Structure 1
Amino acid sequence: MDFQPVERASEAFQQSVTAQEIAEICRRAFGPEAVPVSAVELGTGMYNNVYCVALAGRAEPVILRVAPEEGRQFRSERHLMRNEYAAQPWLAVIAPLMPRVLAADWSHEVIGRDWMIQTCLDGVPAPERLGAYPRTQWSAFFGQMGAIARSVHHVRGPHFGPVGGPGHGTWSEAVIASLEEIAADLDGAGLDAGDVRKVAAVAAHGRAALDEVTEPRLLTGDLWTVNALLDPKAPEPVITGVLDFDRAWFGDPAADWTIRMATAKQDERTAFWETYGAVDRSPAAVWRAGIYEARHLAAIRLERHRLGKADAVRESYDTLAGVLAALA
C-alpha cells in the first residue's frame, strides 16, 4: 500500500493509525478480499484523522475517518463521531449534499478507536476555491449557505442537546450542561474555568429567557466555509457538498455556529440572510445570543489548548470577560 500519513510531533493531539490498521479496517468493512492500494491522510481537519483510501477493484476512493482514542477525548467532545452517525437520518433534508456512510464500527475490535467510512464527494474545499472568484460573486456562496442552514434548522427534534444524547427536557438544561462540561474539561487541562462557570451561573439565573425556546430544532454544530465543498469548474461558487456534522445538536437555531459566523461581519456574507430569513432581535433573544457567544468562546478556548496555541488561550480570557460584562 502507498501510505502517506501526515507527519506530526509525538505529543500532537492527532495521531495517525498505521498502514496495517487501515488494511484491517478495510477488510472489516468490505470483506476479507478487500485490498487498499493507497491511503493518503488529509491534513485539513483538526480532530479526527481522515484518509482518502483507494481499494483494488473499486472505481471510487472512500474516506476513512478515525476518532481520537477515548482517553484523549474531552468530556464535552466525547463520542462526536457517534453523534454524527446518529444525526444522519435527521439530516435527510440535505442528503444529496452529504457523503453516505458505508461502514462504522464502535466495537474497538479492529483498532482501539471509533471509525467510519464514507463516500468521497466531488468538489474542492471552499477555502481553497472561493478566493479564485471575484468578491462580487461570493454572495452566491453565502446565499447557498443560508438556504442549507434554513433547511437544517427547520427540522424538529425529540429533545434538547446532542442528537445522540444525553437529551434534556428544556433548552436551559442543555445549555447549562454544555457550559459545565466545557468548564470541567478546562479544569482537567489545568486552565482557569472560573469565567465559564460564571456564564453557567448567569444562564441559570436567566433560565426563563432560555426556556422561551420550547421547540428543539436541528443545529449543524459547526457548518461554515471550512466544511463546504465547491464545484472546481463552475463559473460562480456552487456548493457541491457539506461535511462534518459531529457536533450536531437540538436547540435554538440562533445558537448554531453557522449563525455566529454569518453575523460576524457585514460583508458578502450578508447574502446569507436573503435565503435564511430574519432572526429574532427581541431583548430576550439578544441576551440569549450573549450566552451562546460565551459558550462558543469557551469551546474555542478548549480547542486552542488542544492545538497548543497558548497565546490564543490567554487572549480568550479578555474576550470572554467582555461578553460576561455585557450579560451582567
Structure 2
Amino acid sequence: MDYRPIERAPGAFQQPVTAEQIRAMCRRAFGKHVHVRGAVELGLGSYNSTFRVDLDNLRDLSDNPGATEVGGTRPVILRVAPEQARRYRSERELMRNEHASLPFLAPIAALLPRTLAVGFTHEILGRDYMFQTMLGGVPAPQGLAAYPRPRWASFFAQLGAITRDIHAVGGERFGRVAGPTFATWTEAVLASLSDTAADLEEAGLDAADLRQVAAVAERHSEVLEEVKEPRMLHGDLWTVNVMVEPGAAEPTICGVFDCDRTSWGDPEADWTIRMAGRRPGTERDAFWTTYGPLATTPEAALRRQIYRARHVGAIRLERYRLGGTRNLPETYDEMRDVLGCLHAAS
C-alpha cells in the first residue's frame, strides 16, 4: 500500500490515521476482497482528514460520472472526522449532520458526491468516517484562475442559482439538521451565539463582544421572530467547496462538496450570502442576478448584523484552531463595527 499522509505537528487539530486503520475501514465498507492500492491525504479543508484511496477488486460500485479510473483502480474519497474531545460544541457531529441532510439537498443531488459507506460505530478508530465517490473537475479557486476575471461572473451567477435552490427547501424546525433543533429562530440563533462564545472562552479568548451581540439579539427577539419558516442553509458553500469543469468555455460548476454545516434557518444567515455581498462592484454581483435581492427593511438589516456577528465569532474560533493568532485582532475590529451598527439601529 502506497500510504502518503501529511506530516503534522503532534498537537495539530487534524490527527493522523494509520495505514492499517484505512485498510480496516475499506474492508468493512467494501468487503474483505478489496485491495487498497494507495491512500494519499489531501490538503483540503481544516476540519476532517481527507484521503484519496485507490482500490482494486471493487464489486458493484457505481462511480460518480466525474470520477476517473487510474491504472485499473477505482478512486474513492475517505473523510475522517476529528476525535470527539477535539470538537467544539458549536461544531458537534458535523459528519453525522451531513449524512442526515443529504435527502434535503435533493435539488443539487447531481452535483454532490455519492455516499458509499459510513462508519459511526467507533469500532475501528474512535472517529466517524465516510466514503464518497470522487468528484470530477478541479477546485474552483484553481479553475477560476484559468479565466480572465470578468468571465468569473458566470460562475457566481451559477452559485447564486444553486444557493437559491438549496434555500427553497423548507423544514419543520430551526437548527442543525441532525439536531439540536428549536421551535423558533430566536432560540436557534441565541443557542448558536452562546455555543460559540463558550467555545471561545474555553480556548482562552475574549468573547464578551459576542455575548453583547447575544444580549442585543435577545432584546430584539421580535425581529428574529419575523422568520417563521425554516429553510435549508448549506453553511459553507463558497469557492473552496466547489468544483469546476476544466477547459470549459466559461467557468462551469460541476460539483459541490463538504455539506456538513447544513442547518434550518433564515436564508440570509447563510455563509454564502455573507461572502457574496463582501465585494460589491465586482464579479460577485452576478450572484444576485440569479439568487434575487435581499430584504431591505430595517428589521432585515438588524438581523443581518446579528448574522454577521455569528460568522465573525466562527471565524475567530477557526483562526485560533489553525494557529492564526496574528489575524485574531481583525475579528475584534469587525465585531466592534457590528456592535456599533446594532446600537445605531436599536
Same fold, TM-score > 0.5, yes or no? yes
Q: How many Å apart are 1:314 and its aligned residue?
A: 2.7
| 1:173 aligned partner | 187
* Superposition map of 1:276-287 within 5 A: 276-287=291-302
Distance 1:146 1:319 in 2: 26
3-state SS of paired residue (1:294):
helix
Q: How many Å apart are 1:302 and its aligned residue?
A: 0.3
Distance 2:154 2:90 in 1: 35
Task: Work out whether 1:194 is the aligned partner of 2:208.
Answer: yes
| 1:148 aligned partner | 162
| 1:113 aligned partner | 127
* Superposition map of 1:124-163 within 5 A: 124-163=138-177
Letter in 1 for 2:300: A
Distance 2:148 2:316 in 1: 33
Contact 1:106/1:113 (CA < 8 Å) preserved in 2? yes
Contact 1:60/1:120 (CA < 8 Å) preserved in 2? no
Task: Work out whether 1:221 is the aligned partner of 2:235.
Answer: yes
| 2:114 aligned partner | 100
Letter in 2 for 1:68: P
3-state SS of paired residue (1:53):
strand
Q: How many Å apart are 1:253 and its aligned residue?
A: 0.2
| 2:90 aligned partner | 76
Distance 1:60 1:218 in 2: 33
Task: Work out whether 1:301 is the aligned partner of 2:316.
Answer: yes
| 1:249 aligned partner | 263
Distance 2:266 2:123 in 1: 38
Distance 1:219 1:255 in 2: 8
Distance 1:136 1:196 in 2: 38
Question: Gaps spanning 5+ residues in structure 1: where?
Answer: none
Q: How many Å apart are 1:14 and its aligned residue?
A: 0.8
Distance 1:136 1:316 in 2: 30
Distance 1:234 1:315 in 2: 38
Task: Work out whether 1:51 is the aligned partner of 2:65.
Answer: no
Q: How many Å apart are 1:57 and its aligned residue?
A: 2.8
Q: How many Å apart are 1:296 and its aligned residue?
A: 0.2
Q: How many Å apart are 1:200 and its aligned residue?
A: 0.8
Per-residue CA distance 1:66-87 (angstroms, 9 max, x = gap)? 0000000001011111101110
| 2:81 aligned partner | 67
* Superposition map of 1:230-269 within 5 A: 230-266=244-280, 267-269=282-284
Distance 1:301 1:182 in 2: 10
Per-residue CA distance 1:228-250 (angstroms, 9 max, x = gap)? 00001212101000011111000
Distance 1:217 1:115 in 2: 27
| 1:13 aligned partner | 13
Give the fraction of aligned pairs with identical amino acids, expressed as a percent.
56
Q: How many Å apart are 1:284 and its aligned residue?
A: 0.3
Distance 2:161 2:51 in 1: 30
| 2:39 aligned partner | 39
Contact 1:103/1:117 (CA < 8 Å) preserved in 2? yes
Distance 1:192 1:277 in 2: 37
Contact 1:35/1:55 (CA < 8 Å) preserved in 2? yes
Letter in 1 for 2:317: L
Number of residue pairs aligned between Structure 1 and Structure 2: 328
Q: How many Å apart are 1:105 and its aligned residue?
A: 1.0
Contact 2:56/2:74 (CA < 8 Å) preserved in 1? no
| 2:222 aligned partner | 208
| 1:183 aligned partner | 197
Q: How many Å apart are 1:44 and its aligned residue?
A: 1.7
3-state SS of paired residue (1:132):
coil
Contact 2:161/2:291 (CA < 8 Å) preserved in 1? yes
Q: How many Å apart are 1:321 and its aligned residue?
A: 1.1
* Superposition map of 1:20-35 within 5 A: 20-35=20-35
Letter in 2 for 1:245: C
Task: Please tell me the root mean square deviation across aligned C-alpha atoms, in Å.
Answer: 0.8
Letter in 1 for 2:127: R
Distance 1:256 1:33 in 2: 43
Contact 2:113/2:135 (CA < 8 Å) preserved in 1? yes
Out of 324, 329, 335, the position equivalent to 1:320 is 335
